[in-house]
């Protein structure tokens, strides 16, 4: 027993040191995790286990790395657990590590986040594997320099011209146009589908995806689960929900890329192939062996790179041009010496525009699209300057630091293109040069990972910037006080954070440099629309059979089963964007030399015999002027609206800009969601619409078409431009009325009918107009709109009874009701007929301001219009709702009272005086802002909405007085009222006449004038352009001076017969002998051929 005890003691004495040694060794190894070895590049001190992980921020790592470089040198290391990061900020080291040793530095670091999102099929994040080489080869064939010069340059030039056109039409959307430009180019190349407008669903989805992809992939945005695998088991809620965010991006990416490729596959089945990249890949896939998911991401990665980087550079360049105006002037001077006003710059001008090239390079240096380059992973050890870059290390290039190296450029944060003086070659030549000191910038990457789209990107950016400089002046915007608004160019506050970095929205003023340049843009846009955008391919004419070079202009397909012929080429005469009748030799669809073809569209009945210049993928053909333009026979060929997305979008915007103030029935911020909610996610946003939505849109287009500058509408008189849409809207209404009870009894159907009635009433009253307005009224009663706020009538109309959603829904009903009530007032007053709406049964609050409705402001106390006029007058005056339109409706109620009094055979002089007293009291009780504006008041676009209702209110009250005074032939007081109408009407600036309320001004301002945009209105001294018997003069007696207000007046008078636009007491007579006018009414002042209204003598 004693011996056994001694043995145990001896064993314990031996094991204890062993145990302590093992524990010490394990502790040492664990604590050594994160420690920097002596042979690594220097770096900040580490902490046990985590190393330097605590020093990496969630955003803006490139700024932190820049400060580290100043302390630890141009090559320093960071330890993230057992992993090593090497950050490079030296051109020579970058050349050595990533270019010369690219065989061992072309992999990507392991990324669980990227793997989860992409499934390992994303070219940007996959290792340098055989699949990676195959992907790059396919993309290189599509985007090599020769193919860009021979094929893609025509598309790039055409899209750049639309870029200029878009800046003219929608200058306020300057942040979006470069995105559409670059996205449309790459979409055309990859899928054969254009991006015709910023509203294209596939573009919106892509840029949303890119934002989310950028946010989740930025260094520091997710926990380092690859370096610390155990973090995968920590509840993600403690780590910023990184896994949920990752899976969300995965779902978005797979959905978008899959939808686009499936769209091509469906098109191939239905119509055949076109000459797009995805078509060629699908044709070759029997040999390639790619899965669907691999094809999705092969095209998707090219879509990402082609969409975001070019647009970001162009946007930052615009910001620089605003902030550094002297640079803009210098670049424009160079362009003007080479390119005159008769054409825009093209790619062949590149060699003659070295300073513009310097601007392009400086834009890429000044605000790089990425703060850090995409990381590389080393597959073997590299020794650089005596320091080890170990196998498995992650290597970053600090692009921000390289481009803002204060040792190289003292003024690194100043936009100075002169720093690139002499650097006139393309970026690809500098990237491949052995002289690393002369490399211009690092925007396209390094080594074997050099961007395969570098040639396409260079041309995108140069064409975009050169054309914008040629066309526009970019200046600081001004606030309401006229003070310039500074542009935030700071890379930290003025730019977004993420994997990709873009300028945040900024304000600027963009104007064409001259009218000649404006005209050139429109002309070239028409030309490229015809020569490039209209080369469509509903089916591929060369699906199974190809033409030969002996056929100079193939126009038909000999293949069986094809519906229409499409040439596989663009009519490119030379490589500078001009087009002619010569054709490139056509080749097999699968050949990288085959040119692009797009999906076909259709013509719209009644529109111009020319190409639709707002082309989407729905392109128009060009018939002869005598041809009948018919709708597409196949629904696949165009959207249900029959016009391009861009024209449709423009007409929607023109409605809200020019018509909606007078017909405010839609909430602008929610319109697209409510009307286009059934739109396709890929392709046209105007497909898949309900009949009601098409009714609304066509009626809307009928109202806004007269304001459009689209060449497709230019040959049509402005008054008639909406006729084709109006006819279609009437057909749709009749279809709903006959066949769809479910759609008929909806507020949306009523809104479409209101637009239809609104348009018809602008042309006067007729039997058709009465029927449509009557349908409006009956449908409004069917929907019980007259009792919208009946439950509030007892509660004193206090808004707190309603929640926000109920408030917004009711406001939509109120606005529809009051617009119908206004139409009833106008049509019945002008035609001397009884009113269809009984005011005594109305329980609807007056409308709120647009600001309250758009801003979801809780309903404030308002007022009803009822049988007793004093109640709403007093209630509105004491309520919080001081909306100008609400007060206008009260004034209109007085007009109704005046007309009813005038029409009553029992009305006495006492009744007339009573109405006059009400009018006088209301004049005095109107808010102070409603008092008559002084003549010198500056009216502009920003305040026209409010001022228009003020002017209309004064006109309505004076017209009411005129009506009751004429009833009893009180000529002196009637004359005073007429003067009041004249004074109010004379306040209308000439340029705002086209957007005046038609219910007031189609009677007070000539019907023709009300339909003609200001820049096309005849001046008073331009009598040659006026119809016979028409004179436009101001109210104060002056008959000369084009800058004075032009107003044509008629009286809303009550006589024995129908009111005409000619028979009015103050219609002026032109006395040619004395160049003066008299108050006689012997000569008519305006002609109107509207149905139901007597023509002027």
Which pLDDT tens digit goes with each residue over 920-976? 777 776 776 666 555 556 777 667 767 777 788 878 887 888 777 776 655 555 556
Which pLDDT tens digit goes with each residue over 253-290? 888 888 899 888 988 888 888 888 999 999 888 888 88
d(CA 505, CA 501): 13
pLDDT band at residue 856 under the 50/70/90 scheme = low
* Greater pLDDT, 386 or 871: 386
pLDDT for the residue numbered 381: 92
pLDDT band at residue 1 under the 50/70/90 scheme = low
Distance of CA 502 to the CA centre of its chain: 17
d(CA 1095, CA 1097): 6
Print the SS3 string covering 975-1007: HHHHHHHHHHHCCCCHHHHHHCCHHHHHHHCCH
Q: CB under 8 Å to 906, separation ≥6 — which residues?
A: none
pLDDT for the residue numbered 615: 26
Angle at which helix 325-338 crosses helix 454-471, to 10 degrees, equals 90
* Closest by CA position to 457, among listed 99, 125, 144, 106: 144
Instruction: Reply yes or no on domain 130-369+404-519 having CATH 3.30.230.30.
Output: no
In 127-175, alpha helices (H): 130-143, 145-147, 153-169
User: Residue 389: in which H helix or E strand, if any?
Assistant: strand 387-389
Which pLDDT tens digit goes with each residue over 79-110? 988 889 999 999 999 999 998 888 888 888 88
* Closest by CA position to 489, among listed 479, 476, 480: 476
pLDDT at 415 over 90: yes
Which pLDDT tens digit goes with each residue over 496-510? 877 778 889 999 999
Which of helix, strand or coil describes residue 80?
strand
Match 């009711």 to its residue by tokens: 810
DSSP string, 325-384: HHHHHHHHHHHHHH--TTS---GGGGGG-HHHHHHHHHHHHHS-S-SSPPPEE-SS-EEE
The answer to whether residues 108 and 126 touch, using CB atoms and an 8 Å cutoff, is yes
pLDDT for the residue numbered 4: 55
Bridge-based pairing state of the strands 394-397 and 75-80: unpaired
Average pLDDT over residues 705-720: 76
* Greater pLDDT, 567 or 836: 836
pLDDT at 512 over 70: yes
Bridge-based pairing state of the strands 387-389 and 75-80: unpaired
* Closest by CA position to 431, among listed 463, 461, 453, 409: 453
Percent of the chain with pLDDT over 70: 69
Match 């497909």 to its residue by tokens: 687
pLDDT band at residue 870 under the 50/70/90 scheme = low
Instruction: Reply yes or no on domain 33-119+370-403 having CATH 3.30.1490.20.
Output: no
* Closest by CA position to 955, among listed 913, 1014, 894: 894
pLDDT at 1090 over 50: no
Annotated binding residues for heme, written as ranges, equal 451
Bridge-based pairing state of the strands 394-397 and 382-384: unpaired
User: Residue 767: in which H helix or E strand, if any?
Assistant: helix 767-782
Structure tokens at 387: 């320091």
Residue spans of the domains in the chain: they are 1-32, 33-119+370-403, 130-369+404-519, 995-1097
Beta strands per DSSP E along 443-540: 472-476, 508-512
Mean pLDDT over each residue of the chain, to the nearest integer: 73
Whether the pTM exceeds 0.75: the reply is no
Annotated binding residues, written as ranges, equal 451
Handedness of CA 693, 695, 698, 703 (dihedral sign): negative
* Greater pLDDT, 36 or 1017: 36
Structure tokens at 993: 């006449």
d(CA 839, CA 276): 63
The answer to whether residues 537 and 617 touch, using CB atoms and an 8 Å cutoff, is no
The DSSP code for 474 is E
Average pLDDT over residues 881-902: 82
Print the SS3 string covering 870-895: HHHHHHHHHCCCCCHHHHHHHHHHHH
pLDDT for the residue numbered 1028: 36
Same fold, 33-119+370-403 and 130-369+404-519: no
Which pLDDT tens digit goes with each residue over 568-595? 222 222 323 333 333 233 233 333 333 3
Kindly list the distances between the CA atom of residue 64 and the CA atoms of 119, 219, 227, 398, in Å, as whole numbers in the listed order: 31, 12, 21, 10
Average pLDDT over residues 234-250: 78
Radius of gyration of the chain measured on its C-alpha atoms: 35
d(CA 741, CA 131): 57
Number of neighbouring beta carbons within 10 Å of residue 429: 13
């Amino acid at each position: 027993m004693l011996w056994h005890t001694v043995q145990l003691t001896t064993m314990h004495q031996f094991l204890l040191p062993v145990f302590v040694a093992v524990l010490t060794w394990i502790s040492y190894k664990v604590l050594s995790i994160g420690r920097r070895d002596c042979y690594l590049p220097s770096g900040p001190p580490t902490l046990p286990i985590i190393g330097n992980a605590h020093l990496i921020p969630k955003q803006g790592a490139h700024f932190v790395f820049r400060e580290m470089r100043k302390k630890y040198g141009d090559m320093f290391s960071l330890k993230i657990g057992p992993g090593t990061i090497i950050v490079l900020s030296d051109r020579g080291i970058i050349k050595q590590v990533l270019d010369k040793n690219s065989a061992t530095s072309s992999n990507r670091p392991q990324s669980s986040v990227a793997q989860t999102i992409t499934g390992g099929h994303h070219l940007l994040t996959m290792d340098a594997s055989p699949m990676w080489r195959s992907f790059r080869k396919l993309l290189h064939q599509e985007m090599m320099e020769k193919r860009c010069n021979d094929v893609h340059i025509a598309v790039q030039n055409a899209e750049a011209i639309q870029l200029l056109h878009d800046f003219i039409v929608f200058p306020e959307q300057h942040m979006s146009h470069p995105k559409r430009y670059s996205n449309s180019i790459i979409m055309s190349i990859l899928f054969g589908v254009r991006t015709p407008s910023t509203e294209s669903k596939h573009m919106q989805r892509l840029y949303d995806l890119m934002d989310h992809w950028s946010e989740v992939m930025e260094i520091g945005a997710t926990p380092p689960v690859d370096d610390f695998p155990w973090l995968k088991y920590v509840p993600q809620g403690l780590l910023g929900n990184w896994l949920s965010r990752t899976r969300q991006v995965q779902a978005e990416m797979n959905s978008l890329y899959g939808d686009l490729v499936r769209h091509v596959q469906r098109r191939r089945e239905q119509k055949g192939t076109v000459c797009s990249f995805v078509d060629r890949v699908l044709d070759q896939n029997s040999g390639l062996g790619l899965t669907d998911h691999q094809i999705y991401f092969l095209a998707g990665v090219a879509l990402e790179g082609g969409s975001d980087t070019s647009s970001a550079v162009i946007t930052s360049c615009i910001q620089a041009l605003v902030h550094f105006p002297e640079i803009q002037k210098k670049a424009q001077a160079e362009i003007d010496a080479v390119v005159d006003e008769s054409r825009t710059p093209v790619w062949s001008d590149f060699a003659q525009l070295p300073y513009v090239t310097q601007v392009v390079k400086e834009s890429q240096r000044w605000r790089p699209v990425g703060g850090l380059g995409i990381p590389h992973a080393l597959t073997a050890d590299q020794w650089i300057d005596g320091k080890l870059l170990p196998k498995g290390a992650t290597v970053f290039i600090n692009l921000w630091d390289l481009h803002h190296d204060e040792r190289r450029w003292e003024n690194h944060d100043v936009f100075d293109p002169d720093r690139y003086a002499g650097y006139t070659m393309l970026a690809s030549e500098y990237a491949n040069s052995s002289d690393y000191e002369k490399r211009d910038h690092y925007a396209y990457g390094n080594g074997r990972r050099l961007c395969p789209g570098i040639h396409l990107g260079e041309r995108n950016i140069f064409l975009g910037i050169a054309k914008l400089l040629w066309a526009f002046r970019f200046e600081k915007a001004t606030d309401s006080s006229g003070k310039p608004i500074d542009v935030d160019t700071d890379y930290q506050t003025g730019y977004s954070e993420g994997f990709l970095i873009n300028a945040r929205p900024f304000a600027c003023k963009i104007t064409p440099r001259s009218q000649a340049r404006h005209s050139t843009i429109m002309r070239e846009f028409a030309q490229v629309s015809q020569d490039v955008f209209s080369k469509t391919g509903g089916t591929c004419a060369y699906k199974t059979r190809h033409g030969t070079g002996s056929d100079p202009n193939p126009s038909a397909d000999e293949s069986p089963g094809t519906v229409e012929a499409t040439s596989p080429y663009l009519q490119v005469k030379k490589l500078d964007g001009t087009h002619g009748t010569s054709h490139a030799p056509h080749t097999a669809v699968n050949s990288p030399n085959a040119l692009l073809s797009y999906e076909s569209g259709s013509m719209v009945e009644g529109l111009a015999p020319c190409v639709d210049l707002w082309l989407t993928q729905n392109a128009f053909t060009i018939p002869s002027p005598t041809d009948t333009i018919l709708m597409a026979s196949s629904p696949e060929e165009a959207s249900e609206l029959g016009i391009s997305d861009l024209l449709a979008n423009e007409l929607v915007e023109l409605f809200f800009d020019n018509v909606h103030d007078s017909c405010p029935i839609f909430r602008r911020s929610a319109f697209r969601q409510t009307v286009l909610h059934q739109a396709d996610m890929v392709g046209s946003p105007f497909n898949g619409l309900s009949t009601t939505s098409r009714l609304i849109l066509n009626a809307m287009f009928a109202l806004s078409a007269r304001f459009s500058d689209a060449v497709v509408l230019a040959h049509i008189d402005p008054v008639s431009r909406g006729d084709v849409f109006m006819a279609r809207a009437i057909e749709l209404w009749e279809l709903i009325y006959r066949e769809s009870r479910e759609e008929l009894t909806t507020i949306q159907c009523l809104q479409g009918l209101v637009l239809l009635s609104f348009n018809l009433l602008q042309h006067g009253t007729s039997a058709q107009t009465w029927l449509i307005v009557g349908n409006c009224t009956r449908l409004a009663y069917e929907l019980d709109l007259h009792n919208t706020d009946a439950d509030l009538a007892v509660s004193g109309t206090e808004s707190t009874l309603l929640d926000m959603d109920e408030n917004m829904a009711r406001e939509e009903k109120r606005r529809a009701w009051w617009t119908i009530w206004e139409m009833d007032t106008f049509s019945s007053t002008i035609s001397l007929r009884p009113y269809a709406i009984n005011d005594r049964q109305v329980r609807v609050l007056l409308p709120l301001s647009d600001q309250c409705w758009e801003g979801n402001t809780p309903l404030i106390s308002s007022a009803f219009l009822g049988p007793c006029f004093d109640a709403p007058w007093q209630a509105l005056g004491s309520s919080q709702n001081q909306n100008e339109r609400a007060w206008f409706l009260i004034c209109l109620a007085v007009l109704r009272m005046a007309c009813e009094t005038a029409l009553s055979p029992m009305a006495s002089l006492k009744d007339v005086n009573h109405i006059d007293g009400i009018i006088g009291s209301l004049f005095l009780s109107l808010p102070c802002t409603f008092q008559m504006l002084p003549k010198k008041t500056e009216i502009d676009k920003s305040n026209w909405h409010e001022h228009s209702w003020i002017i209309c209110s004064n006109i309505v009250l004076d017209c009411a007085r005129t009506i009751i005074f004429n009833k009893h032939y009180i000529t002196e007081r009637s004359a005073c009222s007429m003067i009041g109408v004249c004074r109010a009407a004379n306040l209308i600036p000439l340029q705002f006449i086209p957007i005046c309320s038609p219910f007031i001004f189609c009677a007070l301002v000539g019907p023709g004038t009300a339909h003609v945009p200001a820049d096309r209105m005849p001046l008073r001294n331009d009598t040659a352009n006026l119809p016979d018997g028409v004179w436009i003069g101001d109210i104060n007696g002056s008959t000369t001076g084009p800058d004075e207000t032009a107003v044509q007046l008629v009286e809303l008078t009550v006589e024995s017969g129908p009111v005409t636009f000619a028979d009015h007491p103050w219609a002026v007579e032109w006395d040619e002998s004395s160049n003066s006018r008299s108050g006689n009414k012997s000569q008519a002042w305006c002609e109107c051929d509207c149905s139901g209204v007597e023509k002027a003598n």
